[in-house]
Amino acid sequence: MSSSNVELLKKYLLGLTPEARKEFAKECSTTVGNLQQIIYVNKKCGAPLAIRIDKASKGKVPCDLLCPEADFDYLRNQPISA
């Protein structure tokens, strides 16, 4: 994953207080340490976590950037089945 793909996540986290970072990580079902590994160690961010980050950040950190190998556009365009 290129560093530009995680730059929004980095900026988003740096804009939070340490306590808010912990709460954000909890909302994403992960840890602050894991998020930092994605940013600084180029640890891969899987689609489920990318989606949780997108939701917890209210779209400020899009899942498409964190997990570019997932075809989120395809999923978005699928009809909803009952």
* Residues 49-70, mean pLDDT to the nearest whole number: 94
Residue ranges covered by each domain of the chain? 3-76
**Pair 15, 5: CB distance under 8 Å:** no
Residues 6+ apart with CB under 8 A from 35: 9, 13, 21, 24, 25, 28, 53
Q: Which single residue is written with the structure tokens 């970072």?
A: 21
User: Per-residue confidence at 57, pLDDT binned at 50, 70, 90?
Assistant: very high
User: Per-residue confidence at 44, pLDDT binned at 50, 70, 90?
Assistant: very high
What is the structure's pLDDT at 62? 94
Q: What is the mean pLDDT of the chain?
A: 91
Q: How far apart are CA 70 and CA 82, in angstroms?
A: 24
